[in-house]
Amino acid sequence: MKLIFEKSVTGRRTVATGKPDVPATINLNTELLRQKPAPLPQLSELDVVRHFTELSQRNFGVDTSFYPLGSCTMKYNPKVTELIASYTGFAHLHPLLPQLRMGGMLTQGALKVIYETDLLLREITAMAGFTMQPLAGAHGELTGMMIMAAYHRDRANKKNTVLVPDSAHGTNPASAAIAGYQVVSVPSDDNGLLSLSALKSVLNDQVAGIMLTCPNTLGLFNPHIKEICDLVHSVDSLAYYDGANLNAIVGKARPGDFGFDIVHLNLHKTFATPHGGGGPGAGPVGVKEHLLDFLPVSVVVKRQDGTYTLEYDRPKSIGYIAPFYGNFAVILKAYVYILMLGKEGLKRVAENAVLNANYIREKLENYYRPAVNTICKHECVFSPTDKMLANDIHAIDIAKALIDKGFHPPTVYFPTIVKEAMMIEPTETESKETLDAFINAMTEIAEMAQNQPEKLKSSPVTTPVSRPDETAAARNLDIAY
């Protein structure tokens, strides 16, 4: 497929416009304007339409194919949530509209959605209250760390470190560092779980808290999670729950019951909003009772007369962490999804997510090396076998070969504690037929790695570009256009 610039023909254009009969008025400093025309391609409208239509047909997406990215939960998103979010009464609201006017009809519905979503998430997580402002998971992490810091400042605690497992998502240590903490990495044990002995060796009065994902990035639930939270609390520290993997336990277990003080959730992962390509997302943060005063302002509250308003009088609040009230459309879709599934439906989310992951694990464990050969939760991690590595076949080669099979590759080389990792998360919404097709493709690739390694290393052959040098591309950017 040619680039759109390669299709350009001098003098060809989509539409010809005559000279305007209204004089142009330029209010900008002319030095800020382009001094010569932009080198745009010259094409007909039909050429442009066909080019971008063809590009769209080459994209991977949850609406077109299986998307097994581990820890990202790229599940199918019900179209009913998209439909309701497009309703005029929601889509055309402006955040600066008065909260109460014309009988409260302008914004009361939106405020009710935010308020009731808060209540639903409290029940799901065993938290005392939520803020809906964070715009993504990592933004939620930072908000949680800011709340942690505010709590310790309020108690005059001199704490400067946050503990993070070596298997954590990369944003965990980044969020803690941005919040002003030193990060101490805690190693995993031979079973792929946070090492209790290592945790005890670094736990002291300088520790402000710990950031944990449960199940972790290996898809493993830590049976010692309550003990870990108790240990952290014993030194007046806080336990923070990264909700990226909540699909595995939603409706079945609640982070607050484990002992966590702060929770962030990815509405764009667990509660049916499209995720990927940079957003939009939402990462609400929930806290226990002793942290409510530190939540960002404003907070939606319900008055005695049944109307809703925004409360700003929170002296200990960390303040605004996002404009207005967060990504409202994302919150709305999650609200619809939770109400649609209900309590029993959410339980089935976890059951199906775990069932699908273990089905893949069982089917592929004789073809690839399992990172930990045990029952997993929502995702499983494999590596190439010794024979594959001897044939110079690596995780990247297997990922590239999957593209030729019509599947988006899983996450590769993460978590970093597993060499040549391939993290597969089927999610709860995929059918057995789809999983079987993926398993067959992975099986065929495993056989090719044994018998035709050179052919495998030439994959993909079905794409316009086969194997770009990604490192060189990042270091030598060509931004001429």
- Residue 323 and residue 243 share a domain: yes
Band the pLDDT of 74: cuts 50, 70, 90: low
Size of the chain in residues: 481
Both tokens assigned to 397: 């080669």
Indicate whether 43 belongs to any domain.
no
Band the pLDDT of 133: cuts 50, 70, 90: very high
pLDDT recorded at residue 278: 55
Instruction: Measure the N-to-C terminal CA separation of the chain; round to a whole number of Å.
Output: 19
The residues facing 243 across adjacent strands are 265
Mean pLDDT, residues 165-177: 93
Calpha distance 346→342 (Å, rounded): 6
Cα–Cα distances in angstroms (integers) from residue 201 to residues 159, 194, 207, 233, in the given order: 17, 13, 12, 15
- Domain end position, chosen among 283, 315, 340: 340
Calpha distance 267→275 (Å, rounded): 9
Mean pLDDT, residues 94-113: 76
Strongest mean pLDDT among 167-171, 337-341, 465-469: 337-341
What is the DSSP secondary-structure string of 22-90? S-----S-GGGS-SS--------HHHHHHHHHHHHHT---TTTS---BTTT------HHHHHHHT-HHH
Both tokens assigned to 68: 């097994």
pLDDT recorded at residue 9: 95
For 222, residues 6+ apart whose C-beta sits below 8 A from its C-beta are: 193, 194, 212, 214, 215, 216, 228
The residues facing 229 across adjacent strands are none
- Which helix or strand (DSSP H or E) is residue 213 part of? strand 207-213
Indicate whether 34 belongs to any domain.
no
Q: What is the mean pLDDT of the chain?
A: 92
pLDDT recorded at residue 186: 97
Helices 328-364 and 432-451 pack at an angle, to 10 degrees, of: 50
Dihedral (C-alpha) 322, 328, 333, 337: value to the nearest 10 degrees?
Answer: 70
pLDDT recorded at residue 75: 72
**Residue 176 in 3-state DSSP?**
helix
pTM: 0.89
Does residue 105 surpass a pLDDT of 70? no
- Residue 404 and residue 391 share a domain: yes
- Residue 237 and residue 336 share a domain: yes
Give the tens place of pLDDT for each residue, 349-395.
999 999 999 999 999 999 999 999 899 999 999 999 999 999 999 99
pLDDT recorded at residue 301: 93
For 127, residues 6+ apart whose C-beta sits below 8 A from its C-beta are: 121, 255, 256, 263, 286, 287, 288
- Residue 314 and residue 385 share a domain: no
pLDDT recorded at residue 167: 92
Mean pLDDT, residues 134-163: 96
- Residue 237 and residue 163 share a domain: yes
- Domain end position, chosen among 340, 358, 384: 340
- Residue 184 and residue 262 share a domain: yes
Give the tens place of pLDDT for each residue, 416-445.
999 999 999 999 999 999 999 999 999 999
Mean pLDDT, residues 131-159: 95
Indicate whether 8 belongs to any domain.
no
- Residue 380 and residue 263 share a domain: no
- Residue 201 and residue 292 share a domain: yes
Other beta carbons within 10 angstroms of residue 210's beta carbon come to: 28
Band the pLDDT of 188: cuts 50, 70, 90: very high
Calpha distance 230→257 (Å, rounded): 12
Calpha distance 369→449 (Å, rounded): 14
- Residue 116 and residue 237 share a domain: yes
- Residue 354 and residue 308 share a domain: no
Does residue 65 surpass a pLDDT of 90? no
Strand residue runs (E) in 106-170: 129-131, 161-165
Which residues span the domain enclosing 332?
A: 79-340
Q: Are 87 and 80 in contact (CB under 8 A)?
A: no
- Domain end position, chosen among 316, 340, 364: 340
Give the tens place of pLDDT for each residue, 17-50.
778 888 877 788 888 888 888 889 999 999 999 9
- Residue 191 and residue 166 share a domain: yes
Q: Are 189 and 220 in contact (CB under 8 A)?
A: no
- Residue 211 and residue 336 share a domain: yes
Q: Are 7 and 51 in contact (CB under 8 A)?
A: yes
What is the percent of the chain with per-residue pLDDT over 90, rounded to a whole number?
73
User: Which is higher by pLDDT, 433 or 276?
Assistant: 433
Mean pLDDT, residues 225-230: 97
For 189, residues 6+ apart whose C-beta sits below 8 A from its C-beta are: 195, 196, 197, 198
Indicate whether 23 belongs to any domain.
no
Calpha distance 194→139 (Å, rounded): 24
Indicate whether 311 belongs to any domain.
yes
Q: How many structural domains is the chain composed of?
A: 2
Indicate whether 473 belongs to any domain.
no
Q: Report the half-sphere exposure of 427 (CA within 13 A, side-chain side).
A: 22
**Domain containing residue 263: CATH number:** 3.40.640.10
pLDDT recorded at residue 100: 57
Does residue 153 surpass a pLDDT of 90? yes
Q: Are 407 and 424 in contact (CB under 8 A)?
A: no
Both tokens assigned to 126: 């065993």
Calpha distance 456→260 (Å, rounded): 46
Share of the chain residues as helix, strand and coil, in percent rounded to the nearest 5: 40, 10, 50
Calpha distance 195→184 (Å, rounded): 13
**Domain containing residue 433: CATH number:** 3.90.1150.10
pLDDT recorded at residue 151: 98
